[in-house]
Structure 1
Amino acid sequence: MRTVQKALAGACLLFGLSIPLLAAVYAIGSGDDFELEDSAEAGVALVVFGLAPTALGGWLAWNLRHSNRQISQSLSLQQEQMFLQLLQNQAGDLTIIQFAAAAQVPIEQAKAFLDQKAQVLNASFDVKDTGAIVYRFPL
């Protein structure tokens, strides 16, 4: 659905923005032959075929951006809740793999998230014999 909405927004913007450009080229190219009646017709064409698709395309693009922002905020909140739940269950000790598996995110993203939280919450680090880093968050 998002792909269709993106394609439709792009097509509307492309079509809607090209009409005023073509009308301007026509008006400039006509020179002295451009009459008031042509001007009225061009104005109607600009509104109907230019403004409407441009407005629709702009609204679709804004709607996509707004939806993406809401989804991103929702995912951040879910990650935060998963992090807090894991901290309670693990008594404050958490590894990157535990968080990545529970939050279903890539290892690199889990490491970046835990590094950020470690700085904010003053966590300490321990390294296991296997080389895994254990984040120790104060509860």
Structure 2
Amino acid sequence: MRTFQKSLANLCLLFGLSTLLLAAVYAIGSGDEFEPEDSAEAGVALVIFGLVPTALGGCLTWNRRHQSQQSTQTLALQQEQLFLQLLQNQAGDLTIIQFAAAAQIPIEQAKAFLDQKARVLNASFEVKDTGAIVYRFPL
């Protein structure tokens, strides 16, 4: 559905902006030969074939971007809630693998998230004999 919406928005913008550009070039290029009845017809064509598709494409693009921002915010909030829940369950000790598995995200992304949270919350680190890093968050 997102691909269809993106394609439709791009098509509307392409068609609408092309029509607006052609109408402007026609109006400018006509010069003195531009009759009043031609201007009325050109105005109607401009609105129907230029402004309407451009407005529709703009609305679809804005809507898609707004939905994307909302889903990103929702995902960040879910990760934050999961992080806090894991901290409570693990008494403040958390490894990258534990968080990555619980959040179902790549290890690199989990490490970046935990590093950022460690800086904000003044967490300490401990390296186990196995090489695993344990983040110790104060509760």
Q: Which position in structure 2 is the counterpart of 1:48?
A: 48
2:125 counterpart letter in structure 1: F
Q: CA deviation at 1:46?
A: 0.7
Counterparts of residues 28-43 of structure 1 (less than 5 Å) = 28-43=28-43
How many residues get paired?
139
Distance 2:129 2:22 in 1: 70
Residues 42-80 of structure 1: CA distance to partner in whole angstroms, max 9, x if unpaired? 111111111111111110000001000110010001100
RMSD: 0.9
TM-score of the pair, normalised by structure 1: 0.97
Q: Which position in structure 2 is the counterpart of 1:90?
A: 90
Q: Which position in structure 2 is the counterpart of 1:120?
A: 120
1:116 counterpart letter in structure 2: Q
Q: Which position in structure 1 is the counterpart of 2:62?
A: 62
List alignment gaps of at least 5 residues for structure 2.
none
- Mean CA deviation greater in 24-33 or 59-68: 24-33
TM-score of the pair, normalised by structure 2: 0.97
> Percent identity among equivalent residues?
83
List alignment gaps of at least 5 residues for structure 1.
none
